[in-house]
Every structure is written in structure tokens, then in C-alpha cells.
Amino acid sequence: MSDTRTLRDADTADLDTSARAATGAHDRRSTPISEDSRVAIEIRTLVEHGSMDEARERFADLVAIHQRRASRIAYQYLRDAAEADEAVQDAFVKVFAHITSYRETWPFEVWFTRILINGCLDRRKARARRDRWFVSGEVSTADEARASGSGGGDGDPERNLLARERRARIAAAIDRLDGRQRTVFTLCHYGDCTPREISIMTGLNESTVRVHLFRAARKLRALLGGKP
């Protein structure tokens, strides 16, 4: 328990300090403004001019762009569908509430993902606090049961069972990663982020991100015995 607490604290420290480092890191970027960033700027302008209804309508486009990816990341972090759902909703609501503080020097995706991850980390902390006092609720049992019900998408029970076992093994292996490694690995593999984007989100040096990614991959390979 104390180990996991230390890892979570490390996670939070990373993301808290990332704000300072990320600005400097992003100054080096010279990529053109992405579509979602452009929409975010448009929404910010609408909110500043008091056109809230129109801003809400435009925000639905942003939600549609990032919803699936956000749900994947949140689920990999929390391993609980209901909690991941709430975390995604909270992140979007927070983004809209603070859209006036969005700056175009940051890609919207990075800004949003940071907010989402901070929310997920807070929820993990809260869950750990809860588990310290109450019996663990086996948060993913229902989700796993539902996933096993639908299986791998076909009706072969044996294949579904194997897929479920494999996923459980992968989830357990990822859960055993160091806090930073888990964050970096989740963002890279489930959030489809490049090492540079992860470096902006977390405030870590890009080469440090690569090192964490490599160590995470090596550890996963060792834990999973070379094959998932």
C-alpha cells in the first residue's frame, strides 16, 4: 500500500510541475494549429463574447473528437467503466468551465489530456484512501463480466475466455509498472501520444520519456513472458 501511495505521489508531482516545464517545451514546437485547437480557440472567443449557447454547440464537436480516446485512457488508468465515464465527463466540463484560460501556444489535445490525467490520478488516490478503510469493491468485476459477456466480438466461448485471461494478465502487468512508467506507457499506447507530446503533458524531458517508455516495455515483456 505504501509503495502505491509513493507512486501516486510521484505521478502527481510530475503533473503538477509539468505546467512550468511544458510551456518551455512547447515553445520549441513549430507545428501548425490542429483542428481541435482551432475549435477550442473559437469556443473561447464565443465564451468571451457571452455567446454561451453557441459555445456549447461548438463544444459538442470537441467532445466528439476526443471522447473515445479519453475514455480509453481513463479506463486504462482506472480499470472501472463507471469511474472512467465520470472522469471523462468531469474533464470535459472542467475544460469548458476554464476555456478562457486556454492558450493557443498549447495544443488542445495536450491541455485536455493533462486535465483528464490529473482527474484520473485524483480518483486513484481517492480509491486508495477508500480501500484503506473499506473492503475493496473489486471495481472492475462488473466491467470484466460485461467484457467477458461480449468477449472478443465473436461467439466462440473458448476464444472469449482466452481473450479475457490475456487482458487480465496485461492489466495486472501494467498495474505493476512504476507510476511514471505507467503514465508514460498509457499515454503512448492508449492515448496515441508521441514522446514529445507526453513530454509536454508531463513536464518530463523527451529523452526521459523515451527511457521510461523503454523500461516500461522491457518490464512488461518480462512480466508477460515475451508474449501477451
Does 219 sit near other proteins (CB under 8 A)?
A: no
Distances (CA, A) of 67 to 60, 61, 85, 116, 117: 10, 10, 10, 11, 14
Query: To which H or E segment does residue 157 belong?
Result: helix 157-175
Does 59 sit near other proteins (CB under 8 A)?
A: yes
Q: Which of 204, 168, 164, 166 is nearest to 185 (CA)?
A: 204
Compute the distance between CA of residue 193 and CA of residue 185 in angstroms, rounded to an integer.
Answer: 10
Asked if 18 and 201 count as a contact pair (C-beta separation under 8 A), the reply is yes
Nearer to other proteins, 23 or 45 (CB): 45
Asked if 180 and 14 count as a contact pair (C-beta separation under 8 A), the reply is yes
Residues between 176 and 215 with contacts to other proteins, criterion CB under 8 A: 189-190, 194-195, 210, 213-214
Mark the segment that binds other proteins (CB under 8 A) among 8-16, 31-39, 85-93, 121-129: 85-93
Residues whose CB falls within 8 Å of the CB of residue 148, separated by 6 or more in sequence, listed in order: 160, 161, 164
Does 152 sit near other proteins (CB under 8 A)?
A: yes
Compute the distance between CA of residue 52 and CA of residue 187 in angstroms, rounded to an integer.
Answer: 32
Nearer to other proteins, 64 or 135 (CB): 64
Q: Exactly one of 10, 39, 63, 139 binds other proteins (CB under 8 A); which one?
A: 63
Q: Exactly one of 93, 128, 161, 222 binds other proteins (CB under 8 A); which one?
A: 93
Nearer to other proteins, 19 or 52 (CB): 52
Binding site for other proteins (CB under 8 A): 47, 52, 56, 59-60, 63-64, 67-68, 71-72, 75-76, 81, 84-85, 88-89, 92-93, 96-97, 143, 146-147, 150, 152-153, 163, 166-167, 170, 189-190, 194-195, 210, 213-214, 217-218, 220-221, 224, 226-228
